[in-house]
Amino acid sequence: MAADEKLTLHLAEAIAASDPLRDEEAVTIARTALIDFFACQLGGAADRSAKILIDTFTSGTQGTAGIIGHDLRTDAFTAALINGHAGHVLDYDDVHGSVRGHPTVAIIPALLAVAVEENSTADAFIAAYIVGLETMARIGLSLGTKHYENGFHATATLGPIGAAAAIAHLLKFDPQTTATALGLAATQSAGLRLQFGFDAKPLHAGLATRAGLTAARLARSGFQGAPDFLENPIGFYSAFAFGAEQPKRVLSGWGAPWQIVSPGLTLKAFPCCTAAHPVAVGALALRSAHDLTPNEIETVVITFPPGGDAALVGSATPATGIDARFSPEYVFAAALTDGAIGIGHFDERPARADLLALSARVSRRHDETARRLSPDPTTRFVVIDVTKKDGSVLSRRIDGLPGIDDPTEKFADATGGNEKFAGIPALVRSMKTAADLRKLETLLATAI
């Protein structure tokens, strides 16, 4: 499909012209998503790998940008890198079907650093977030499905563009500067899905948001870049779409409704890979409907649509909780055994032996007659068939992607009920001014 000859410029014009504050629903959803995201960041801030990043990157730096969950300030680039990593390290942050990944973690760490530095209002910050997410989601839609399937981590590759678009909107870049920033972001697009299950996966989010910040800062300083990354015949689609691009989806329907509203963000109920969430829901339902216990189970077969477990690169017998985030077998075993899934199931400790004993009896298959998994959430399903030792079979089908509507409890859990952070959800729900935003940032950059 041939792209509009000025597609990048037209996208830049759409970014500049957008006024999402006029859409109350979008703003309300954005505030809710921010509460959910800050829960994930604060919950991840003390992770071993986040501490490695702090040790590696903050020495010798100084500045006014805070490290979330730490009493530490550094330059905006370093803060974005570390805060992006921390926001993704639990694999608990929101997902979006059009991105096939995590938009908020790629946008907010860079955007917040800039907004505080520039004394932006909380309203302008929220508007920029919605526009950045719109850009990231629509580029994702236009890229098609082969990008992800062939090995790219879309959070990482689309993230720089989303972050750069958000900052361009916040700082009211003219369309030419915005187009340059988007191209400088796209030329930093990187991240391979083979890193799922390793510390490198959340690092991708940190690198992406820092890349978006880099792109925006450089464009504003007059650093020159190509203005045509979308329509150039050897541009973004040639490199990343494997022939599956649909460039018209970048602008067709822009903001009507906003992508944050429809198809909308999913706020995760469980701190593991999205594609394993229906498995957790199914396991919990089987347990509660049949008082099912591990000892009764002979074998379990989980059926996915074609491509439905592409993200689930963890093995049936993961080594640690990190790897287990990407193991539907282990997620089934944990939910069925414990009746709940928590952060403690997916940390760096070795995978639990009792759960491994059950997960080793779980296998996967694909229903080749079903529609291939696509950004359309209605294509997502799992069927769990449990064969009991007595020969009987229990089945449960889960359609779509389960999520939560209200992250208040998740926020309290992730912060361990720490009173220092208890005011954040109410502040995020009401914030409007620059002073509100500064107060939020100060609260976030406090030692957990």
Binding site for a second copy (CB under 8 A): 49, 52-53, 55-57, 59-63, 74-75, 77, 149-153, 156, 183-184, 186-195, 197-200, 203-204, 207, 217-218, 221-226, 228-229, 232, 234-236, 238-239, 242, 313, 322
**Rounded to whole angstroms, what are the CA distances from 259 to 101, 117, 256, 320?**
14, 27, 8, 35
Find the shortest distance in angstroms from Cβ 403 to a second copy.
26
Q: How far apart are CA 146 and CA 130, in angstroms?
A: 26
Q: What is the largest CA-CA distance in the chain?
A: 72
Find the shortest distance in angstroms from Cβ 271 to a second copy.
18
Measured from the CB atom, the residue of 232 and 408 that comes closer to a second copy is: 232
Measured from the CB atom, the residue of 276 and 383 that comes closer to a second copy is: 276
Measured from the CB atom, the residue of 61 and 378 that comes closer to a second copy is: 61
Measured from the CB atom, the residue of 235 and 425 that comes closer to a second copy is: 235
Measured from the CB atom, the residue of 351 and 384 that comes closer to a second copy is: 351
Taken as a whole, the chain contains a residue count of: 448
Q: Write the single-letter amino acid at 108.
A: I
E strand or H helix at 382? strand 381-388
Find the shortest distance in angstroms from Cβ 24 to a second copy.
38
Burial of 338 (0-12, 13-18, 19+ CB in 10 A): middle
Find the shortest distance in angstroms from Cβ 309 to a second copy.
13
Q: Would you say 270 and 94 are in contact if contact means Cβ atoms under 8 Å apart?
A: no
Measured from the CB atom, the residue of 229 and 270 that comes closer to a second copy is: 229
Rg of the chain over Cα atoms, rounded to whole angstroms, equals 21
Q: How far apart are CA 224 and CA 176, in angstroms?
A: 11
Q: How far apart are CA 248 and CA 131, in angstroms?
A: 18
Q: Would you say 319 and 347 are in contact if contact means Cβ atoms under 8 Å apart?
A: no
Measured from the CB atom, the residue of 216 and 356 that comes closer to a second copy is: 216
Helix ranges (H only) for 392-433 are 408-414, 424-430
Find the shortest distance in angstroms from Cβ 442 to a second copy.
19
Find the shortest distance in angstroms from Cβ 264 to a second copy.
28
Find the shortest distance in angstroms from Cβ 187 to a second copy.
5
Round to the nearest angstrom and report the end-to-end CA distance of the chain.
50
Tokens representing 414?
Answer: 């992730």
E strand or H helix at 48? helix 48-57
Q: Write the single-letter amino acid at 365.
A: R
Measured from the CB atom, the residue of 221 and 369 that comes closer to a second copy is: 221
Find the shortest distance in angstroms from Cβ 195 to a second copy.
5
